[in-house]
Amino acid sequence: MGFCSPFFICGKAMALDELLETTLDGMGYELVDVEQLSHNKLIRIFVDKEGGITIDDCVAISNHLSKLLTVENIDYGRLEISSPGLDRPLRKIKDFLRFQGEIIKVKLRIPKDGQRNFTGVLKEVNDGIIKIEVDGKVIDLELDNLGKVRLVPKL
């Protein structure tokens, strides 16, 4: 099996993201993001949990996933486990729901009213739309048009 091939679990094809999400969820962690760099076969996995990730968490996850990837015959050169950081990306609906009330930075795929970048308070998520408050004005942004969305760290 190649580096980016689907994996077969119980006769069904499963993408790496799905395999990792299922496994990490069972361990009590949340898969935030996966980066794959094919030139050096690096798999970088960003995980989170309530209260944050510790070094011990990263070690436990790394040990478990190393065995899983070997069993699943997934070819990789290096595995990195990391916290998503203070400027954590928001990708899933549950991320937006969890971080309502926080300041986020949004980069749109297609500009809205001539603007691609917005920074404001995440007010609401509903029916494929996020509402953010920017300079006292609430703006509706379609989830399908979101490029990168990150939390703005509280320092």
Task: Report the CATH number of the 93-151 domain.
Answer: 2.30.30.100
Query: Would you state the structure tokens that stand for residue 101, as one six-digit string?
Result: 């009330």
Render each residue's pLDDT in the chain as its tens digit; 155 residues: 344 444 444 444 468 889 999 999 999 999 999 998 888 799 999 999 988 999 999 999 999 999 999 999 888 999 999 999 999 999 999 999 999 999 999 999 999 999 999 999 999 999 999 999 999 999 999 999 999 999 999 88
Cα angle 58, 35, 106 (rounded to 5 degrees) comes to: 100
Domain boundaries, the chain: 7-82, 93-151
Note the pLDDT of residue 14: 61
* Fold of domain 7-82: GMP Synthetase; Chain A, domain 3 (3.30.300)
H or E segment and range at residue 107: strand 103-112
Cα Rg of the chain, angstroms: 18
Query: pTM value?
Result: 0.77
Note the pLDDT of residue 75: 86
